[in-house]
């Protein structure tokens, strides 16, 4: 009987584990978003969704950045200099360079494109 209960508990734990992973709503769990991401700068393209001058951030809805294994997503980025936020507006399509560091990634250059 103990063996049957133990086997049932093991099966239950195996089937419950995936739901924990899928329930986690953390970008850090996404491929390429950990701090172990290579520190090589990469090029991206996207659309400016928000600008926060007080925090020095720009939110970009960007296409996949295959060089650093990032899927397409929308996320806020720190900018290297506050002046970068003056050169774009919400809705602009931009080409940018990002220094990847997971959730601490920084946009080091950004320009509007037609």
CATH of the domain at 32: 2.40.50.320
Q: Percentage of the chain surpassing pLDDT 70?
A: 66
Number of domains in the chain: 1
Share of the chain above pLDDT 90, in %: 62
pTM (2 d.p.): 0.68
Name the token pair of 76: 């806020």
Q: Is the pLDDT of residue 72 over 60?
A: yes
CA count, 13 A, side-chain hemisphere, 11 = 6
Domain carrying residue 102? 2-112
3-state secondary structure 18-60: HHHHHHCCCHHHCCCCCCCCCCCCEEEEEEEEEEECCCCEEEE
């Amino acid at each position: 009987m103990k063996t049957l209960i133990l086997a049932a508990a093991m099966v239950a734990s195996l089937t419950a584990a995936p739901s924990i992973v899928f329930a986690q709503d953390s970008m850090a769990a996404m491929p390429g978003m950990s701090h172990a991401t290579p520190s090589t700068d990469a090029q991206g393209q996207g659309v400016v969704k928000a600008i926060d001058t007080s925090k020095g951030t720009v939110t970009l809805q960007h296409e996949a950045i295959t060089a650093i294994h990032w899927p397409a997503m929308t996320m806020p980025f720190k900018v290297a200099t506050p002046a970068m936020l003056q050169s774009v507006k919400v809705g602009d399509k931009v080409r940018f360079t990002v220094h990847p560091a997971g959730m601490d990634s920084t946009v080091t250059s950004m320009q509007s494109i037609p």
